[in-house]
Chains A and B, each alone.
Chain A
Amino acid sequence: MPAIIQSALHPAGPQAASISHLWWLMFWTCSVVYVVVIGALLVAIRRRRDEGGSTDERSLTRSVAAATGVTVVILFGLLFASVATGRAVASLGSAEGLVIDVTGNQWWWDVTYENPTPSLQVKTANELHIPVGRQVRIQLKSNDVIHSFWVPNLHGKMDLIPGRQTAIWLQADTPGVYRGQCAEYCGLQHANMALTVIAEASDDFERWLVAQRQPAPPPASPEQQRGLEVVERGPCAMCHTVVGTSAGGRTAPDLTHIATRSTIAAGTAPNTRGYLAGWITDPQHMKPGAKMPSTGLSADELQAVLAYLETLK
């Protein structure tokens, strides 16, 4: 795991960068103001009163008026800075940007890479791949309650509101893995609704995109075959889709390429065979309240399913 995975203080793109400039401006200004005011307060209470302590009111009035004036000036400066930054951030974004639809669900992210020809669309979940140095337009919708899309290293947050369509422009300048997480309270598992953004060189990205367009590979070994049968005839298919098989459920993450993802259950656990086994047998232990039920698979059914899922690259 890289040291910085989710922080507004380590911008990796133009949007986050200009916001962090504003942050540091505000931080230093406010620190100075704070020190000055508290300093004045300390002097006021500590100064020795032997000269009678009777300061004439007029000079007080003057200093209070002056202080107020300075305050107003500083505030106008900050106001200007904030509005300017706002415009700068809003002006980023370009016509030939990449468009990604992200739909919020309790408690996972449904990701679709738009394409005019439906067969070229790519569906995945809880993980975005974006090309470095290219503006990306994230279009946000929600299927249930209000969520908020937030990848602090790339940009501020934007809410996903049922019945509304919002959008946000991102760009990553340095390749890397940036973690994001739902920032609007959305119920039981608000805490475990994370997503990963993988920024990579654009040819890597294209390669990934092409790979994601492929249907699931056919099972190679009899065990994988058995796993596929369980997936299709068993409980999985009621909610999950595996393109190229008869599993076509729409209410849970698309599993066609699950083996390529780094986490399961929206960032709750790393995507390893062990965790996956635990998740399938008893999801409610790992993520209480998640919509995935305990499937009651028998031990060999479970092994077969795991074997099959590992082939979904």
Chain B
Amino acid sequence: MTEGIADDPRLEPSALAREARELANTWSEPRGFVGWFSCVDHKTVGVRFIVTAFGFFILAGLLAAAMRLQLARPDNTLIGPDLYNQIFTMHGTTMMFLFAVPVVLGFGIYFVPLMIGSRAIAFPRLLAFAYWMFLFSGIFLYVMFFLNIGPDRGWFSYVPLAGPEYGIGKRADVWAQLVSFTETSGLAVSVCLIVTIFKLRAPGMSLNRIPLFVWAELVTAFMVACSMPSIMVASGTLILDRLVGTHFYNHAEGGDALLWQHLFWFFAHPEVYIIFLPAQGIVSMIIATFTGRPVFGYIALVLSLVATAFIGFGVWVHHMFTTGLPQFGTSFFTAASIMIVVPSGVQIFCWIATLWSGRVRFATPLLYALGFFVVFIMGGLTGVMLAAVPLDAQVHDTFFVVAHFHYVLIGGSLFPLLGGIHYWFPKMTGRMLSERMGKTAFWLLLIGFNATFFPQHILGLMGMPRRVYTYPVEMQWGALNLLSSAGALTMFVALSIYLANVAISLRRGAVAADNPWGASTLEWATSSPPPPYNFVPAPTVGGRDPLWETRADLPVVVGLAADTREVLVTRLMDAEPDHRKEFPEPTVWPFLTAVAVGGLYIGSIFTPWAVVWGAVPCTIALIGWAWPRKGNRPRSLERQIAHRHRTAAEHA
């Protein structure tokens, strides 16, 4: 690390205070109506992502409640088949595309720059664009739903059921375009995260010192980048089949229905890991903080994250075991699907070791982490069962599978996320959540969850298939379904308490200190809530747990301009300071671009020409986006050129 000069005058408290004031006014977001649409601060956008995603979580939860109501008793006629099909499709689509992915990315957007000690996230305007696309996608989907154009072909939209002949009306197109929306958003965010983690880390934070949560987000971003193109191709070809009569999925003209399943699951299985790797990162953070020791086996944990990501791309066929594929191929995918348990196992053992050797503090976030173990491990074990071809042939597409993936997703992702909110709420809002309400909600949720989903294992084995809007009384599935519905009610109550806790604490919660939990990562080094510029002076890092090490001898960064949005760019491996980059001002153009692109997407549901004339506003918006407000001082340009010549001369 470049050696620092001691007692620099710029580190006098008065000087720092002055700098802070100047930074505050440089980095502050514009106010007012237009300002609201032009915000590019990663913290604001991150919060927007999280809040919006939870909004959709509530909607999808209500849909789930409706389904449990319909299935509570046999031969129920509360909800007809048409509406029921829309409801379970909306539930799945919302949870996967509008809640799970955006919310984990949202946490990354908010905390990654803070955890790596940066002033901002890379490409803030792209980030803003991503948010607007996400918001529009959700609004679009629910408006369509209320107009009775809600998708009704399942969140997997298998062809030919979703194809032009059997996918009647525009419902399947709505699904396909929703996917285009959210994937655009997801891909944009993953670019921001990858570049931020690679290039904007605080000096000294070499790759082997990155916090585990950041590692998880990095791996996730790469998984997004590699898996979502597959669903883009899938939904694109589906739209083409439906709109202009291509034959990708028409067996009579050389297409094939299984091509869809391959393309879809090549995305949709990694999707599961996209959803739950960041959650594992959160678990690592929480466990480290509440055992007061670094997580055991940092390297092992990072490697198992990466391993999970790699194997995650080799297991998609286990969703297609009943399509009559050749046996040899299937047993390969069985092996892969079973072996992916190993990295997850390693992580769980490392965490248990951490708890074993640390001093455990039972705060609500840790409870959620423990709940994660109790629930997720069971999901993982039923996953092993599903990987076995013969067993899968029995329970595939039954309620056993429903139970399995709710144990995996709610256990593996929702519990850590709720814990994460408890954990970071003080940092985000400056107030603590109530522990009492938090714990009540947790225990209710744990009980309600198991009451809801455990019986569904048995229902599946008793032969109850998924996606049925009713079942005859003589099947004897009534009692267990009733229990399941009662559990759903309990979950509803638990989540309401959680929500109330958030609402109340926002106003009346105890004021939070900078580092209320005594955690070790950089986001706790700044004030709660953090200022728009995140840090002054910008920190450097000497180890994996900066706040637990003696920071006195750690140098800090000075010399970043305070009058422009300058950010320090460092090198990929060792995070040595490399150059300064001036980041863009807030602007309304990303919003307008999102409007234009959204218009194009929605229009192309009805006519292919929308792509042509929809491109015009998109182009205009992008030009407006790219056009610089002001040329920055030619002086600096000359300085720059001179500098280059100087260095060239030195080399010669």
Contact = CB atoms under 8 A, between A and B. Distances in A.
Contacts of A72: 342
Interface in A156-198: 156-159, 161-164, 166-167, 179, 181-192
Given A148-B322, A164-B324, A44 B82 contact: no
Please indicate which of the listed interface residues B322, B346, B373 has the most CB atoms of chain A within 10 Å of its own CB.
B322
Nearest to B457: A27
B206 to A, nearest CB: 22
Interface in B439-473: 461-463, 465-472
A57 B350 CA distance: 11
A138 B463 CA distance: 20
B382 interface: yes
B377 A158 contact: no
B345 A78 contact: no
A61 B296 CA distance: 9
Contacts of A82: 334, 338, 387-391
A113 to B, nearest CB: 22
Contact of A45 (B297, B360, B470, B475): B360
A67 B252 CA distance: 53
Interface in B377-412: 377-378, 381-382, 384-385, 387-398
Nearest to B397: A183
Contacts of A55: 356-357
A44 B461 contact: no
A6 B463 contact: yes
B81 A146 contact: no
A198 B341 CA distance: 41
Contact of B397 (A34, A41, A148, A267): A148
Contacts of B324: 158-159, 161, 164, 166-167
A245 B326 CA distance: 44
Interface in A39-89: 40-41, 43-45, 47, 49, 53-55, 57, 60-61, 63-64, 67-68, 71-72, 75, 78-79, 81-83, 85-87, 89
Contacts of B257: 146, 161-164
Nearest to B82: A188
Given A30-B381, A146-B161, A288-B82, A8 B166 contact: no
A238 interface: no
B349 A67 contact: yes
Contacts of A98: none
B384 A26 contact: yes
A95 interface: no
Nearest to B346: A68
A108 interface: no
A106 B389 CA distance: 27
A38 interface: yes
A257 to B, nearest CB: 24
A100 B462 CA distance: 26
Interface stretch (A16-24, A127-135, A200-208): A16-24
A263 to B, nearest CB: 10
A49 B360 CA distance: 9
Contact of B461 (A8, A49, A192): A8
B300 to A, nearest CB: 8
A5 interface: yes
Contacts of A26: 384-385, 388, 391
Contact of B342 (A75, A87, A158): A75
A37 interface: yes
B55 interface: no
Please indicate which of the listed interface residues A57, A106, A146, A181 has the most CB atoms of chain B within 10 Å of its own CB.
A146
B346 A156 contact: no
B85 A156 contact: no
A64 B160 contact: no
Contacts of B82: 188, 288-289
B568 interface: no
A121 interface: no
B160 A145 contact: yes
Contacts of B461: 7-9, 23
A90 interface: yes
Nearest to B400: A8
B108 interface: no
B358 interface: yes
A6 B81 contact: no
A5 B356 CA distance: 49
B388 A85 contact: yes
B63 interface: no
A152 interface: yes
A38 B377 contact: yes
A6 B231 CA distance: 36
A53 B291 CA distance: 11
A1 B475 CA distance: 10
A144 B469 CA distance: 21
A155 interface: yes
11 contacts: A1-B474, A19-B393, A64-B353, A68-B346, A68-B349, A75-B341, A81-B388, A145-B166, A163-B256, A183-B322, A190-B81
Given A86-B334, A185-B466, 18 more contacts: A19-B390, A30-B381, A30-B384, A37-B373, A38-B377, A44-B355, A45-B370, A64-B296, A67-B349, A86-B390, A144-B160, A144-B165, A161-B324, A183-B396, A185-B153, A189-B81, A190-B81, A190-B468
The 9 nearest A-B residue pairs measured at CB:
A156-B393, A163-B251, A82-B388, A191-B468, A6-B463, A166-B324, A30-B381, A44-B356, A44-B355
